[in-house]
């Protein structure tokens, strides 16, 4: 995994993501361009992951900036190192405008067909940059020759997501489609 491009099917736009691996660490940099409420929007984000657990997230939306860090075990801090107790227990970050977020819980585990897992996620709404903890469930539905299908469920949404052998989204119906 080096470079990926996703088309945003819901809001006209796309994402250009680059990732670099060093041992157990994965560094991700991405730019998302889309139309939000009839206006152009540019989102830049950087993630530092360790064993697919979020350690640091830096997000910029049209010159508004947010940075959060995590101990990787469910304790989160703002850019001033202040503890954010309402996020306790969440391991992964879920940035609303990217399918890459789905790779975090998928890639942290070895899955068997039919297995389901529940996760507490730090949901980051774009463009507001508001954080909240949300419950999500993933179920490994089917193994194909070069892909896997997961059922994704949150309190307000559910879908089948197709990922490649590296756990990266190929298709997220009506929302995202991988183009490169």
Provide the residue-wise pLDDT of the chain in tens; the chain has 180 residues: 699 999 999 989 999 999 999 999 999 999 999 999 999 999 999 999 999 999 999 999 988 999 999 999 999 999 999 999 999 999 999 999 999 999 999 999 999 999 999 999 999 999 999 999 999 999 999 999 999 999 999 988 999 999 999 999 999 999 999 999
Pairing of strands 39-50, 25-36: antiparallel
What confidence score (pLDDT) does residue 97 get?
95
Map residue 11 onto helix, strand or coil: coil
42: left (phi over 0), alpha (psi -120 to 50) or beta: beta
Spell out the residues 6+ positions from residue 153 whose beta carbon is closer than 8 angstroms to its own.
Answer: 136, 137, 138, 139
CA angle at 14 for the pair 10 and 19, rounded to the nearest 5°: 130
What's the distance, Cα to Cα, between the start and end of the chain in Å?
Answer: 11
Domain of 59 in residue numbering reads as: 3-178
**Number of folded domains in the chain?**
1
In angstroms, the CA 167 to CA 66 distance is 27
In angstroms, the CA 30 to CA 16 distance is 6
**Residue indicated by tokens 């470079």:** 3
What DSSP element (H or E) covers 48?
strand 39-50
In angstroms, the CA 130 to CA 50 distance is 24
């Amino acid at each position: 995994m080096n470079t990926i491009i996703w088309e945003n099917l819901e809001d006209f736009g796309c994402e250009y993501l680059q990732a670099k691996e060093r041992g157990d660490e994965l560094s991700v940099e991405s730019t998302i361009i889309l139309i939000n409420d009839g206006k152009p929007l540019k989102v830049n984000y950087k993630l530092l992951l360790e064993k697919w657990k979020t350690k640091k997230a830096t997000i910029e939306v049209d010159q508004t900036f947010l940075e959060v860090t995590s101990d990787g075990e469910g304790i989160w801090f703002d850019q001033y190192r202040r503890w954010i107790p309402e996020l306790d227990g969440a391991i992964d970050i879920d940035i609303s405008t990217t399918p890459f977020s789905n790779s975090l819980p998928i890639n942290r585990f070895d899955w068997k067909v039919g297995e389901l897992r529940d996760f507490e996620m730090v949901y980051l709404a774009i463009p507001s940059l508001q954080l909240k903890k949300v419950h999500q469930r993933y179920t490994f539905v089917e193994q194909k020759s070069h892909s896997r299908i997961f059922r994704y469920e949150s309190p307000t949404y559910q879908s089948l997501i197709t990922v490649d052998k590296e756990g990266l989204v190929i298709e997220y119906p009506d929302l995202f489609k991988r183009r490169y």
